[in-house]
Amino acid sequence: MLSPSFDRTPIDSRTRLAALSIAVVEDLRTQGAQGDARTEFCSAFQVCLPYRGLFVWHVRGDDVVGDANQIVYVRAGEPYRMSRPAGNGYSELIITPAIDVLSELTQTTERKLFDHPLFSRRAARACPQTQALRATYRHMLLAGEDRDILAAEELTLEVLRSSLHANRHRSNPFALVTTRLIRRTKEFLEENLSKPLRLADIATAVGASPAYLTDLFTRAEGVSLHRYLTQLRLARALDELPSVADLTTVALDNGFSSHSHFSFAFRKSFGCTPSEFRRTARRAATKRF
């Protein structure tokens, strides 16, 4: 399968993890803060799975925040700009499916893909199951040198199915000033993931009252502010777990007060303990590819 034409700059690292008959899979990583980049273009439909950091995708008047709680859907042929206001850059998996595969999975025709609800919305919230699958999938691809291509393609389809059936919550359209408030809130959460946060701190930082912010955020995102923050912290931990030994350090570095607090939140979201997930991800990386 041919790689799509794209031009995203500046990029610190863009690694092709797999070139399959059904999709191209890439791992993009950037570092440091960046202002608005120049206008860019992608010729292919893509499903992007951010797993670390935050970026803002500016396309046709929409400012779409991409963080580890989101799935971003790129429509072919649209000019856009990227910015990453948070200080530590961002990382994402980019899946470029073959057009016939994407059409089948979305149950539409190639001609109608452009107007498909997901690609019109541009983003949807990733559920915990999709986040866990994304982390396992990435570590499998990174670990495998002699890959079983059939296994890789089946797993890619599993990730795509999960991503294309993501949480369908959609709030009513908000005014631009409200959209910007939600964006500032997400940026503040990302920049302060490892710190203890109080509602008053967040509200003051983004310029809103605590009561107004919590009500607005829940209506816009479909989950509470606290739940959104917890899931961001867990998503970062998912990315780190397969390669670390000390779970307490992972817990504290990602804003949890203790190992037990981290384990409780992790089990509640993913149905297993951090050590169980780490063991499963490591075993899958060595056996499936």
Average pLDDT over residues 107-116: 92
Residue pair 3/44 in contact by the 8 Å Cβ criterion: no
User: For tokens 């939600």, what's the residue?
Assistant: 182
pLDDT value of position 9: 43
What is residue 35's three-state secondary structure? coil
Closest alpha carbon to 52 in 67, 63, 64:
67
Mean pLDDT, the chain, integer: 88
Enumerate the CATH 2.60.120.10 domain ranges in the chain, comma separated.
13-164
pLDDT value of position 39: 82
Locate 52 and state its tokens: 């670390």
Average pLDDT over residues 253-257: 94
CATH class of 176-287: mainly alpha
CA angle at residue 168 from 167 to 173, to 5 degrees?
A: 125
Please say if the pLDDT value at position 244 is more than 50.
yes
* Whole-angstrom distance, CA of residue 9 vs CA of residue 241: 30
Please say if the pLDDT value at position 168 is more than 50.
yes
pLDDT band at 86 (very low <50, low <70, confident <90, very high): low
pLDDT band at 169 (very low <50, low <70, confident <90, very high): low
pLDDT tens digits, 175-193? 778 889 999 999 999 999 9
The verdict on pTM exceeding 0.85 is yes
Locate 274 and state its tokens: 């951090």
Residue pair 187/86 in contact by the 8 Å Cβ criterion: yes
Give the H/E segment covering residue 65.
strand 62-66
pLDDT value of position 3: 42
Locate 97 and state its tokens: 């499916």
Query: Exposed/middle/buried for 56, CB within 10 Å: 0-12, 13-18, 19+?
Result: buried
Q: Which residues contact 155 (CB under 8 A, 6 or more apart)?
A: 137, 140, 288
Of the candidate CATH numbers 2.60.120.10, 3.40.50.300, 3.20.20.70, 2.40.128.20, the domain formed by 13-164 belongs to 2.60.120.10
Enumerate the CATH 1.10.10.60 domain ranges in the chain, comma separated.
176-287
Percent of the chain with pLDDT over 90: 69
Cis-peptide into 10, omega within 30 deg:
yes
Own/partner pairs, 16-21, CB within 8 angstroms, 24+ separation? 17/93, 17/138, 17/141, 17/142, 18/141, 18/147, 18/152, 18/156, 20/149, 20/152, 20/153, 20/156, 21/98, 21/153
